[in-house]
């Protein structure tokens, strides 16, 4: 099997720190994540939205009818900071894809909802994103995908249990 970037990089590190024994696992995960981010950016361009905007739209779509969440829940689901979410929501509101309304139960709180245009955009962009992600993994068999899912889930569950995620 040919050497990938991570293996070549780690071999160079071995010359600097002999015996360091780099695992290469997280390096590959990070490299795949960067590639995924790049492909996501390309995938969202035709929709006129950025990745963070797509994440917020997806969080609201995932909430189901009436496609409404508070900003704190959006922050958790979109893996963004509160400040970043505020900026993203400002852009989405300017584009007419979301609305911010006072919470009827507690008027000090805000609820964010998809507009009809936002719902359509959320559906279309989510399907495009899903198709792109499937294409990224076509070289893996169903069994390999399941094995990878299981191993990654195991790592994440351990990190979540320790409160590190």
Question: What is the CATH number for 105?
Answer: 1.10.10.10
Q: Is residue 75 part of a domain?
A: yes
In a domain, 3, yes or no: no
- CA-to-CA distance for 83 and 61, rounded, in angstroms? 21
Which residue's structure tokens are 């099997």? 1
**Domain presence at residue 55:** yes
Q: Confirm whether 95 is domain-assigned.
A: yes
Look at the chain and report how many structural domains it folds into.
1
Residue 18 placed within a domain = no
Mean pLDDT of the chain: 93
Domain region containing 85: 49-137
pLDDT at 164: 77
List pLDDT tens digits, range 69-104.
999 999 988 888 888 889 999 999 999 999 999 878
> What gap in Å lies between CA 143 and CA 28, rounded to an integer?
20
Residue at 165 is within a domain: no
Does residue 8 sit within a domain?
Answer: no
Interval 117-144: pLDDT, tens? 999 999 999 999 999 999 999 999 999 9
21 lies in some domain: no
């Amino acid at each position: 099997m040919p050497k990938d970037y991570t293996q070549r990089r780690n071999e160079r590190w071995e010359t600097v720190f002999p015996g360091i024994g780099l695992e290469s696992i997280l390096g590959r995960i990070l490299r795949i994540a960067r590639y995924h981010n790049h492909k996501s950016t390309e995938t969202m361009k035709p929709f006129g939205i950025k990745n963070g905007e797509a994440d917020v739209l997806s969080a609201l779509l995932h909430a189901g009818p009436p496609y409404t969440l508070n900003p704190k829940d959006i922050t958790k689901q979109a893996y963004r900071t509160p400040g970043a979410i505020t900026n993203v929501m400002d852009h989405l509101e300017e584009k007419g894809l979301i609305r911010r309304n006072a919470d009827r139960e507690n008027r000090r709180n805000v609820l964010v909802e998809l507009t009809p245009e936002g719902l359509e955009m959320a559906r279309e962009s989510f399907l495009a994103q899903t198709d792109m992600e499937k294409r990224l993994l076509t070289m893996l068999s169903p069994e390999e995908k399941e094995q990878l899912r299981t191993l990654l889930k195991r790592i994440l569950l351990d990190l979540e249990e320790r409160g590190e995620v």
